[in-house]
Amino acid sequence: MALKYKMYQLHTAKHQYNNYWYARVAYMGTLDTRQLAARISERCTVTESDILAVLSALVVEMTHNLQNGMRIKLDNFGTFKLSISSKGEKERKDFIPAKNIKKTRVLFQPYTRVGVDNSRFKSFVTGVQVEELTAYKGSRTKKKEGETTGGGTNPSGGQSHP
């Protein structure tokens, strides 16, 4: 199964790429913790309730450790860390954390394996195939089931510009 995308046109008058077309992921739904635990329990001998207990404890431990300045590395999965954004001040004495620190975010970097030729393979995205969703508001044409737009992969996962 391929990752589906929809096309959209950028409408930001002052942007240098105004009116350019881009692709964005067309999400097919959301898998919640209980559903994920049920699927995992089908692949191994661990029960769904045990998986839910472990995931619950993982959230508590990750929250505690991230908030205490630790990075969390889950082998073959990726690394989580917290990041902050702040407003600068000309003088250090004028920097007041409550006023200048604007937001905190969780950053995730997928596990990356380096090949013998120094090529990089990121978990979750290496080998992904993409194709346009067959019919949606704004699509150019109605495609026959199974027909693709040629798609491809973008191992870096980033947006590319012309």
Quick: pLDDT tens for 109-160: 999 988 899 988 888 888 899 999 988 776 665 545 554 444 444 444 444 4
**Per-residue pLDDT, 159:** 45
Is residue 55 one of the residues assigned to a domain?
yes
Cα–Cα distance, 120 to 108 (Å, whole number): 17
- On whether residue 12 sits in a domain, the answer given is yes
- Give residue 102's pLDDT: 96
Fill in the amino acid letter for 40. I
Domain presence at residue 121: yes
User: Is residue 108 one of the residues assigned to a domain?
Assistant: yes
- Residue 144 included in any domain: no
In a domain, 58, yes or no: yes
Predicted local distance difference test score (pLDDT) of residue 154 = 45
Which residue range(s) make up the domain with 10?
Answer: 3-132
Specify the pLDDT at position 90: 96
pLDDT, mean over the chain: 87
Q: Confidence band (pLDDT; 50, 70, 90) for 7?
A: very high
Q: What pLDDT does residue 142 have?
A: 52
Amino acid 9 reads: Q
The CATH number of residue 62's host domain is 4.10.520.10
Query: Are β-strands 112-114 and 120-122 bridged in parallel, bridged antiparallel, or unpaired?
Result: antiparallel
157 contacts: CB under 8 Å, gap ≥ 6: 122, 125
| Residue 13: pLDDT band with limits 50, 70, 90 | confident
Q: Give me the number of domains the chain comprises.
A: 1
Flag whether 97 is in a domain.
yes
Residue 146 lies in a domain: no
Secondary structure element (H or E) that encloses residue 80, with its range: strand 78-86
How far apart are the C-alpha atoms of 135 and 142, rounded to whole Å? Answer: 6
**Burial (CB count within 10 angstroms: exposed 0-12, middle 13-18, buried 19+), residue 90:** exposed
Say which DSSP state 94 is in: G
Q: State the pLDDT confidence band at 162, using cuts at 50, 70 and 90.
A: very low
In angstroms, rounded to a whole number, what is the distance separating the alpha carbons of residues 35 and 23?
28
